Amino acid sequence: MEKMPYQPGAEVPMSRDRIASIATDWQRALPVLAAGRVVLRELRADDAPSLCALLTTEEVSRFISPPPKTVEGFERFIAWTHRQRAAGAYACYAVTLRGRDTAIGIFQIRRLDATFELAEWGFAIGSTFWGTGLFRESARLMLDFAFDVIGVRRLEARAALPNGRGNGALRKIGAVQECVLRRSFARAGVRFDQALYAIVDVDRAAAQARRPAFTRVH
């Protein structure tokens, strides 16, 4: 979660009957994902001010790789996400609330092998929205996109051990802690141990069979 890459785009609605096409078309433009109170869409340049305000606070940024420090830095980051998506190496979604188009956070996924069957994801949401259930709604949409559209088979995440909220969030959505990576993350001159989590396709399929349908795609 902490060590993700990076130091107005067209939106393509997603429907189940177009999933085979979208499996390649996401490189042209990310599909819009929606369920409950949440809409995930591709980042736009005009998201930079809200992301800069929400994601650079100490409580949000203390356990993630340093975000851009300025609105201009976020604009460059957003442009970079579009180039990486077009190359098929990475995707980044803005988290928004239904009826309000302001970006309140991001979800990122990047490939760890040439096929994108092995991937890592990360996320950051403004602290105002912590504890509201929005993370879980957004995460389930992102999991659907990763496994059903991109074709991921194993999705990894890392969380610093002192980051109790991040570790708890991953466990709540079914991620399994596999090991501890000692002193593997550096932030502000301090090195932290990280927990390595994974969600694999067979476990996710079993979990889906036990819960009612959630995701609405359009």
Dump pLDDT digits (tens) for 134-186: 999 999 999 999 999 999 999 999 999 999 999 999 999 999 999 999 999 99
Phi and psi angles of residue 145, each rounded to the nearest 5 degrees, phi first: -65, -45
Q: What pLDDT is attached to residue 140?
A: 95
Give the pLDDT of residue 116. 97
Per-residue pLDDT, 3 = 54
- As a whole number of angstroms, the distance between CA 152 and CA 150 comes to 6
Any residues with CB less than 8 A from the CB of 94 and at least 6 apart, and which? Answer: 40, 41, 42, 43, 44, 47, 51, 103, 105, 106
Q: pLDDT (tens digit, 9 = 90+) per residue, 56-104?
A: 999 999 999 999 999 999 999 999 999 999 999 999 999 999 999 999 9
- Distance of alpha carbon 40 from alpha carbon 105, whole angstroms: 10
The domains located in the chain, with CATH, are 12-217 (3.40.630.30)
Per-residue pLDDT band at 204 (split at 50, 70, 90): confident
Query: What is the residue type of 192?
Result: F
The CA dihedral of 54, 60, 62, 68, to the nearest 10 degrees, is -30
Residues contacting residue 2 through CB under 8 Å, at least 6 positions apart: 63, 64, 65, 122, 158, 159, 160, 185, 187, 194
Residues shown for the chain: 218
Q: Is the pLDDT of residue 23 over 70?
A: no
Task: Return the higher-pLDDT residue of 190 and 8.
Answer: 190
**Band of residue 118 on the pLDDT scale cut at 50, 70, 90:** very high
Q: Does residue 2 surpass a pLDDT of 60?
A: no
pLDDT score at 16: 42
Distances (CA, A) of 149 to 1, 87, 177: 21, 16, 25
What percent of the chain is modeled with pLDDT above 70? 85
pLDDT of residue 21: 43
Residues 6+ apart with CB under 8 A from 51: 67, 74, 94, 103, 105, 106
Q: What is the mean pLDDT of residues 203-209?
A: 78
Question: Beta strands of the chain (E only): which ranges?
Answer: 12-13, 31-35, 38-42, 90-97, 100-111, 118-125, 154-160, 176-187, 190-200, 216-217
Q: How confident is the model at residue 205 (pLDDT cuts 50, 70, 90)?
A: confident
Helix, strand or coil, per DSSP, at residue 78: helix
Q: Nearest Cα to 122, choosing from 169, 73, 174, 88? A: 169
Please give the Cα distance from 182 to 95 (Å, whole number).
31
The model's pTM: 0.85
Across the chain, what does the average pLDDT equal? 88
